[in-house]
Amino acid sequence: MAEITLKSLAHTYLAEPMGPEDYAIREMDHVWQQGGAYALLGPSGCGKSTLLNIISGLLQPSSGEVQFDGCNVNALPPEERNIAQVFQFPVVYDTMSVYDNLAFPLRNVKTPESRVHERVMEVADVLELTAQLKRKARNLTADEKQKVSMGRGLVREDVTAILFDEPLTVIDPQLKWKLRRKLKEIHRRFNITMVYVTHDQLEASTFADKIAVMYQGQVVQFGTPRELFERPSHTFVGYFIGSPGMNFLDVALRGEAVLAGDVSLPVSGALRDAIAGARSSNVKLGIRPEFIEVHADPVAGSVMADVEDAQDLGTYRILSLRLGEHVLKARVEEGRVVPRRTAHLRFPDNRLGLYVDDFRVEIGHE
Ligand SMILES: Nc1ncnc2c1ncn2[C@@H]1O[C@H](COP(=O)(O)OP(=O)(O)OP(=O)(O)O)[C@@H](O)[C@H]1O
């Protein structure tokens, strides 16, 4: 069993850090619960591998603690942490057979050969490697090798968590889908905590029950794929999740009016009050392209925009709409009228998010 707790954890690669921007991991608290299927999602350089290496013990954090089931494991070397790590590139012994590769971690800790056999056969069965057991690892395809890498982690009976660092990078696109499903199956069968690192939102949401979105060394949101989509708690999450990402309008209050540039937006009193209470000039309204209502004629509470472009994507279109100084994206499903030049947009209150200094402020209008 392993619940992994990160307590006031921070890491810098610099000897003399000057400020938060010098930290690959900015101080964070986080819990991965026992048995969860998690993804760690974020762009290149946000700190994903650093975090994984700290959990597995390959790297010592500059400050803070890694705890397994409440016990501080900072002083434990990787081999004593009961954690397996699967990297981008398969780690296999080319000259050994698949069987011996899978058996290696067990033989290493002097497991009786009868038990080794049982475990290797069980894991080979799950990974669909039974037919390859006698082959030399060097003759395998990239995806088969990666399956052997995963198998070497899974075969160990003491493993309570597996960390995957972009494990499908070298896999053909057609096979990625299959391997991801396999990982889910393994997760269900073995009751192991799994943390899957990726920069691909689709990969994250098909694997994980909960996703931690990382940005500039911080976890800016930890939630289900649906929560990340419907209520991004940071502008980065809004922008990074979804295709296209969330629209953001810089807004300011002038008298009673909420202005986006020189366009007055018809918003609820609750939202206007929340904007008035913001203690920053960095105030944005966010709305997903899916939630903007696009009408050909004016409706109550609509604003006028120019249609700049309409991209046909088969079952829907993505419109580019100019609203003063902003260009918004809106998704219009097949069969709905697509205005040619001028559109009338409505932003449903419960779909508008308020962001002050990039963090979402709850308004309570639902
Ligand atoms: N060994 C190192 N020495 C110095 N700086 C490093 C080292 N490893 C990573 N960094 C820096 O730390 C930050 C986080 O890097 P990290 O590799 O953890 O990010 P990542 O999200 O895993 O990116 P990628 O997806 O590209 O691997 C980056 O600014 C990176 O340049």
pLDDT in tens, 230-284: 999 999 999 999 999 999 999 999 888 999 999 999 999 999 999 999 999 999 9
Question: How far, in Å, CA of 9 to CA of 329, rounded?
Answer: 38
Which residue lies with its CA nearest to atom 6 of ligand 1? 13
* CB distance 24 to ligand 1 below 6 Å: yes
Shared domain check, 93 and 192: yes
**pLDDT-derived band at 79, boundaries 50, 70, 90:** confident
**Pairing between β-strand 161-165 and β-strand 193-198 as defined by DSSP bridges:** parallel
pLDDT in tens, 140-199: 998 899 999 989 988 988 888 999 999 888 888 888 888 888 888 888 888 889 999 999
Say how far apart CA 173 and CA 112 lie, in whole Å. Answer: 39
- The order of strands in the sheet holding 263-265 is 252-254, 257-260, 263-265
Give the Cα separation of 289 and 298 in Å (integer). 19
Instruction: Using the mean position of ligand 1's atoms as its centre, give its distance from the Cα of residue 274 in Å.
Output: 38
Q: Is residue 101 part of a domain?
A: yes
Q: List CB contacts of 207: < 8 A, sequence separation 6 or more.
A: 37, 39, 180, 183, 184, 196, 198
SS (H, E, C) the chain: CCCEEEEEEEECCCCCCCCHHHCCEEEEEEEECCCCEEEEECCCCCCHHHHHHHHHCCCCCCEEEEEECCEECCCCCHHHCCEEEECCCCCCCCCCEHHHHHHHHHHHCCCCHHHHHHHHHHHHHHCCCHHHCCCEHHHCCHHHHHHHHHHHHHCCCCCCEEEEECCCCCCCHHHHHHHHHHHHHHHHHHCCEEEEEECCHHHHHHHCCEEEEEECCEEEEEECHHHHHHCCCEHHHHHHCCCCCCEEEECEEECCEEEECCEEECCCHHHHHHHHCCCCCCEEEEECHHHCEEECCCCCCCEEEEEEEEEECCCEEEEEEEECCEEEEEEEECCCCCCCCEEEEECCHHHCEEEECCEEECCCCC
Q: Is 359 in the pocket of ligand 1 (CB under 6 A)?
A: no
Question: What's the 74 CA to ligand 1 centre distance in angstroms?
Answer: 20
Residue 214 C-alpha to ligand 1 middle, in angstroms? 13
Residue after which a domain boundary falls, among 178, 206, 239: 239
Residue nearest to atom 8 of ligand 1 (CA): 50
Average pLDDT for the chain: 93
Q: Is the pLDDT of residue 366 over 70?
A: no
pLDDT for 126 beyond 90: no
Task: Say yes or no: CB of residue 44 within 6 Å of ligand 1.
Answer: yes
Which domain, by its residues, includes 196?
Answer: 4-239
Q: Is 204 in the pocket of ligand 1 (CB under 6 A)?
A: no
160 lines ligand 1 (CB under 6 A): no
CATH of the domain at 351: 2.40.50.140
Q: What pLDDT, on the 0 to 100 scale, is given for residue 365?
A: 53
250 and 234 in a common domain: no
Question: Based on the domain organization, do 82 and 225 belong to the same domain?
Answer: yes
Residue 149 lies in a domain: yes
**Six-digit token string for 196:** 């899957």
Give, using CA atoms, the residue closest to atom 5 of ligand 1. Answer: 13
198-223 burial code (b ≥16 CB/10 A, e <16) = bbebebbbbbbebbbbbbbbbbbbbb
**Over the stretch 293-326, which tens digit does the pLDDT of each residue have?**
999 999 999 999 999 999 999 999 999 999 999 9
CA distances from 334 to 262, 315, 338 (A): 32, 5, 9
Residues 37 and 152 in one domain: yes
Residue nearest to atom 11 of ligand 1 (CA): 24
| Assigned token pair, 198 | 């990726």
pLDDT at 1 over 80: no
In a domain, 366, yes or no: no
| Distance in Å, CA 47 to ligand 1 centroid | 6
- Residue 251 and residue 210 share a domain: no
ipTM: 0.97
238 Cβ below 6 A of ligand 1: no
Residue of 44, 50, 164, 198 to mutate, ligand 1, most atoms within 8 A of C-beta: 50
Q: What is the count of structural domains for the chain?
A: 2
Beta bridge partners of 361: 354
10 lines ligand 1 (CB under 6 A): no
pLDDT given for residue 335 in this prediction: 87
Residue 97, both tokens: 């057979």
Domain-terminating residue out of 208, 239, 270: 239
Whether 11 is in the pocket of ligand 1, judged by its Cβ within 6 Å, is no
Q: Ligand 1: does its nearest atom lie under 6 Å from the Cβ of 46?
A: yes
Output the CA 71–ligand 1 centroid distance in Å: 27
Domain termination residue (choose one: 184, 206, 239) = 239
